[in-house]
Every structure is written in C-alpha cells, then in structure tokens.
Amino acid sequence: MENIRELLPETGKMKDMDASSILLCDEAQFAGRVRNALENGEFTVFYQPQYSYRTKRMCGVEALMRWRHAGQMISPAKFISRLERNGMIYEVDRFIWRRVCQALSAWKKEGIDAPYMSINVSGRDMHHADFEAYLVSLTEEYDLQPQNLHLEITETAYMKDLKFMIRVIKSLQRRGFIVEMDDFGRGYSSLTALKNVPFDVIKLDMDFLQESEINEKAKQILTSVIEMLQKIRIPVIVEGVECEKQAELLNRLGCDYMQGYYFGKPTDRPAFEALLREARRG
C-alpha cells in the first residue's frame, strides 16, 4: 500500500490565505470574479483515486474542483455554498463536467484505461430544466458511456423536495448514470434519504465520526453503520481514509472500496495521468 501512496506526489497544496481576498467582497463583485474565472479558465479539476483495498487496484476517481487564483489553489469548500446561493454553481459545475469528459475522452483515444469518474453534483444543479439533457449531451459529444460517470449528490437544502429528487435520480439511472449519495451520515436527514432515494452507492466519510483517533465508541458506530449498509445491500465507498490502521479496520468490517490521503491526494491532470500510465504498466 505504501507504494500506491508514493506514486502520487502531493501537488497543488491549497492555501486558504488567498480565499479571503476572493470571498471578502459583495455579491456583485463575487459574481464578476466568478465570471472572469470562468472566462480565464481559473477553475480546474483535481483528481483523487479510489482503490479496492483487496486487489490494490484503482477502481475509480473523483473529480474535485479547484479555483486557481494568483498562483494558489482555493478549496471549493470556501466558495461552493456561495455559488449555490447566487445561482452560479450550475455554470461552474457544467464547466467542470465538460473538463472531466474532455479528459476521459482524451485518455480513451490514447488507449489509457481510465476507471469511472465521479463528479460532484449540487442539489441545486438538479433543479435546472436541462440538467439531465446536458449530462447526456456531454456523454454523446465525447463518445462516453453514462456508466463512465458517477454522480455524487450531497444532502443539501436543495434536497428538501425528496419526491422531485427521486424522480430526477430514477430518470438519470434509466439513462445509465450511477448515482451516489455523498457524505452519508453528515446531514440531518441521511437516514430518510437512504430509505427513500434509490442511490446506487453510498459514500461514507470517515470524517463523520470527527475523531482523529479511532476510539471504542467511534469503532462501534462505524461497525453498526457499515453493518446496516451491508444489510440493505448497498455498495459503500469509504472516503477520508488517512492511515493504514483505518484501512485495515475498514477491510475487516467488509469495506473494500476506499478513497483518502492514505491512498493518494487529489492531484492535477498531468500527475494523475502519470498514475494511470503507471497502473497500466502494472
């Protein structure tokens, strides 16, 4: 497992310092900065691999947005909610999804065997009339299969209308997209969503325990949550796996698919392509 980590250099360390200069402005200025960033290609994609612990093979990859500004990377955690509030998230997400499809298509043409790509979808995106049609048109334009894209949806304020969400998700699944519930356990109504929404995969974040050390209580909660997900036969990916101890414990609990700093940090496209080529060589 050690060499998997070594294959990925830590690239593009994010600094929060700069974020303040972007965010400390009024709504009109912020919207203008986002527009400039879109025009100047300041939004970019970082790629974080997902592994099968048992086979040690890469099984998927998550695309994570970054705002490259004044030579630094700004974490999406700093601005996503603001984009959701001002309604620009859809435009920025579409930009990111297109970049992702371009990359998948380029790898396919080069003969690089890439795993599926998980993209993040804001609950707000799903309320746009052309949301599904846009995703379908992207896969057609770049000659991809819908199964090449996994859609990670987080429980947000926009998920209040469960009936609407279920309708959209079922329709996406009929098209062939794989729909994942992101951040299971973090929100207030994860169980309601789990019971009612037909997700294909659940993403369980180790962070939901908010424990740096795995103590007995945390272990019991984790064990029970995993048991419950196994009972309802829903595949799980655990993210935020930071050390061998956590990975081993998860493996003992029957979880195979994992993502986190222990396996590899999010990296830019050249570094991730190097990793893909390395994986192909065996």
Binding site for ligand C2E (CB under 6 A): 48, 64-65, 75-77, 80, 89, 93, 96, 120, 122, 152, 154, 182-183, 207, 239-242, 260-261, 266
Binding-site partner at residue 75 among Ca ion, ligand C2E, none, CB < 5 to 8 Å by type: ligand C2E
Instruction: For residues 194 and 155, give the distance between their C-alpha atoms in angstroms, rounded to a whole number.
Output: 10
Minimum CB separation of residue 111 from ligand C2E in Å reads 27
Is the Cβ of residue 75 or residue 223 nearer to ligand C2E in the bound state? 75
**Is 182 an interacting residue with respect to Ca ion (CB under 5 A)?**
yes
Per-residue interface string for the shown chain with Ca ion, residues 133-162, x marking contact by CB under 5 A:
-------------------x----------
Residue of minimal Cβ distance to ligand C2E? 260
Q: Cβ-closest residue to Ca ion?
A: 152
Type of residue at 173? Q
For the CB of residue 96, give the shortest distance to ligand C2E in the complex, in Å: 4
User: 64, 83, 69, 62: which is closest to 16 by C-alpha?
Assistant: 69
48 binds, among Ca ion, ligand C2E, none (CB under 5 to 8 A by kind): ligand C2E
Closest distance to ligand C2E from the beta carbon of 243 (Å): 9
Measured distance CA(214)–CA(234) in Å, rounded: 24
Nearer Cβ to ligand C2E (105/120): 120
Residue 240: CB minimum distance to Ca ion, A: 8
Nearest to 203 by CA among 91, 118, 130, 104: 118
Q: How far is the CB of 63 from ligand C2E (least distance, A)?
A: 6
Alpha helices in 176-243 (DSSP H): 190-196, 216-231
Q: CB of 214 within 8 A of CB of 245?
A: yes
C-alpha to C-alpha distance for 191 and 186, rounded to whole angstroms: 10
Give the Å distances, CA to CA, from 133 to 11, 74, 179. 34, 30, 16
How far is the CA of 141 from the CAs of 98, 102, 126, 134, 178, in angstroms?
Answer: 10, 9, 21, 10, 19
Binding site for Ca ion (CB under 5 A): 120, 152, 182-183, 205
